[in-house]
Amino acid sequence: MSVGELRIHIDHERIACFCQARGIRRLSLFGSVLHDNLDPQCSDVDVFAEFEPGVLKNVGFQYFGYGEELAAVIGRKVDFCSRLHPLIFDRVKDELFPVYERPGRRFDTEADHRGLRQSHRTEELRDLGRSKLKESVNAILAREFPKASPR
């Protein structure tokens, strides 16, 4: 598929400005906007954003307005996401259609997404480790200092 075949108008200059201002390194479309089942009256545009590393740490609640801001650029309601459940990502990864890509190296969306999943697993394991450590410390304290242990 090419940009000319899309059933919506893409203003590449405005999209680039939007992405650059927010640290988005690649912005891709997926879903009905790429298929014949796009309903011009009510279909939203599914958008997958890949951010520069570390950008989202300082964004806060502004992130939740990105969909509406992008909708104003595209002229249609936008379903904006930067993370997908692994099962959903596996279904759409091959149809991601980039409409913006930061100049420079090419990105491997699947590898980046695997890295993101891995970092989430690492955080989950770290949290689990802290929880187990706390349980172990409380058990030792209860055994060594029975009167001082929390009830």
Whether the Cβ atoms of residue 108 and residue 98 lie closer than 8 Å to each other: no
**What single-letter DSSP state applies at residue 24?**
E
Q: What is the pLDDT of residue 126?
A: 63
Nearest to 96 by CA among 4, 38, 22, 31: 31
Distances (CA, A) of 76 to 47, 57, 67, 88, 93: 12, 28, 10, 23, 23
Whole-number Å distance between alpha carbons of 138 and 135:
5
Count Cβ atoms within 10 A of the Cβ of residue 16 and give its class: 0-12 exposed, 13-18 middle, 19 or more buried.
middle
Each of the 151 residues of the chain gets a pLDDT tens digit; together they read 666 677 788 899 999 999 999 999 999 999 888 887 777 677 889 999 999 999 999 899 999 999 999 999 998 899 999 999 999 999 999 999 999 999 875 555 555 655 555 555 555 556 666 667 777 777 776 776 666 545 4
Domain boundaries, given as residue ranges, for the chain: 3-105, 108-151
Phi and psi, residue 100, nearest 5°:
-150, 135
Q: Name the architecture of domain 3-105.
A: 2-Layer Sandwich (3.30)
| Residue 72, pLDDT score | 95
**Global pTM value:** 0.67
| Long-range CB pairs of 85-90, under 8 A, 24+ apart, other chains included | 86/113, 86/117, 89/113
Tell me what pLDDT residue 117 has: 54
What pLDDT is stored for residue 149 in this prediction?
A: 45
The pLDDT of residue 41 is: 74
